Structure 1
Amino acid sequence: MSVFQTYLQLGFFHIFNLQAYDHLVFLLALCAPYVLREWRRVVALVTGFTLGHSLTLALATLGVVVFPAAVIEALIPVTILLTCVFNLIQAPRGPRRNDTRRPAPVWLAWPNLLAVVFGLIHGLGFSSYLRGLLGATSRPVLELLAFNVGVELGQLLIVLLILLVGFVVVRGFRAAPRDWVMVVTGIAAGVAAVLLLGQLNA
């Protein structure tokens, strides 16, 4: 197996793994307000998140930026909690009528900007794991690229599963979209609160 394939698999299984449940919970909160037909917006969100974490992952792995691991581990649940707050603010309250306003372009919407900013924080979290794998590698450009691609593939698969579950719950079980958003957001917020308290008490 080539170096690229090795780090591609490492990136994929690092995100698509219960040990990375903090990142999984963030993706759950990020995708909660959206339904399957809005998959393009979700892909845009995840891509923004990937751009953010790819930048800080590279900078931290190469030693350009250094942050205390404890601070990053505390900030990750904060990003989840903030995402949950925004979900609650924009949770649908029923069908809108006579709303002729054109939606803002996807690339200008605030959720995309937040995804990029929060991705910067999560990338620093990924870097601790990747630095442990690289050891003494001095210029791991290929490894960084492969790892990022693997993480992105894992994220897209997770997002697809979340959207499919949401589709089944809302369409199959006739749940109200607001109820789906509120329940999922509540679960994500609860997990994030436990994570944050654990970090603060560590």
Structure 2
Amino acid sequence: MSVFQTYLQLGFFHIFNLQAYDHLVFLLALCAPYVAAEWRRVVALVTSFTLGHSITLALATLGFVQYSPRLVEVLIPVTILLTCLLNLRRAGRDMRREPLLWAGPNLLAAGFGLVHGLGFSSYLRQLLGQSSRPVLELLAFNVGVELGQLLIVALILLLGLVVLRVARAAHRDWVLVVSGAAAGIAAVLLLLNLGS
């Protein structure tokens, strides 16, 4: 297996597992207001998030940025809570009325990605060891993370489709329940991180 394939798999399985539950909960909150027919908007949001975390992941992994891991572990649930609060405020609105590439949500996702990228970097630095110029590894890891995120998003949108079409739940109720659950998990995570 090539170096690219190895790090692609590591990125994919880093995001697509239950140990990355804080990132999974963030993706759940990010997708909550959208239905399957709006998949392009969700892909734009997730890609914005990936661009953000790719920047800080590269900068931190290459040693250009120093940060407090404890602070990052506190900020990650804050990003989830803010996303959920925005969802709760916008619940019941027709998201299709917003322009596809409307800067607000995409910039917010990219900004939150900056925080999450720092969270990814300590894991990646451990994998890389003393590699001096891990450009290929960084690229492969980020592509793997993006593929994992897109699969998770597809599953979330599919679950939403089942709940909204088969169970005939109201879209507003779906947004409120999912965002409320994600906010609850983020609040517990925040309290645990503040207490440690």
TM-score (norm 1): 0.94
Q: State the shift of 1:104 in Å.
A: 4.2
> CA separation in 2, counterparts of 1:78 and 1:52?
16
> CA separation in 2, counterparts of 1:140 and 1:199?
30
Residue 98 of structure 1 aligns with which residue? none
Q: State the shift of 1:9 in Å.
A: 0.2
> CA separation in 2, counterparts of 1:108 and 1:28?
20
Residue 155 of structure 1 aligns with which residue? 149
Aligned alpha-carbon RMSD (Å): 1.4
Give yes or no for the alignment of 1:189 onto 2:183: yes
Contact kept? 2:11, 2:142, Cα under 8 Å: yes
After the TM superposition, which parts of structure 1 deviate over 6 Å for at least 4 consecutive aligned residues? none
| Consecutive unaligned residues in structure 1, runs of 5 or more | 96-101
| Consecutive unaligned residues in structure 2, runs of 5 or more | none
What's the CA shift string for 1:108-131, capped at 9, x where partnerless? 341111100000000000001000
- The percentage of aligned residue pairs carrying the same residue is 76
Letter in 2 for 1:41: R
Instruction: Tell me the matched-pair count.
Output: 196
> CA separation in 2, counterparts of 1:167 and 1:158?
14
> CA separation in 2, counterparts of 1:166 and 1:105?
22
Residue 10 of structure 2 aligns with which residue? 10
Contact kept? 2:41, 2:101, Cα under 8 Å: no
> CA separation in 2, counterparts of 1:178 and 1:63?
44
Contact kept? 1:106, 1:112, Cα under 8 Å: no
Residue 64 of structure 1 aligns with which residue? 64
Residue 126 of structure 2 aligns with which residue? 132
Instruction: Work out which of the residue numbers 173, 176, 195 in structure 1 matches 2:170.
Output: 176
Aligned runs of 1:63-102 on 2, under 5 Å? 63-92=63-92
Residue 114 of structure 1 aligns with which residue? 108
TM-score (norm 2): 0.97
What's the CA shift string for 1:26-54, capped at 9, x where partnerless? 00000000000000000000010000000
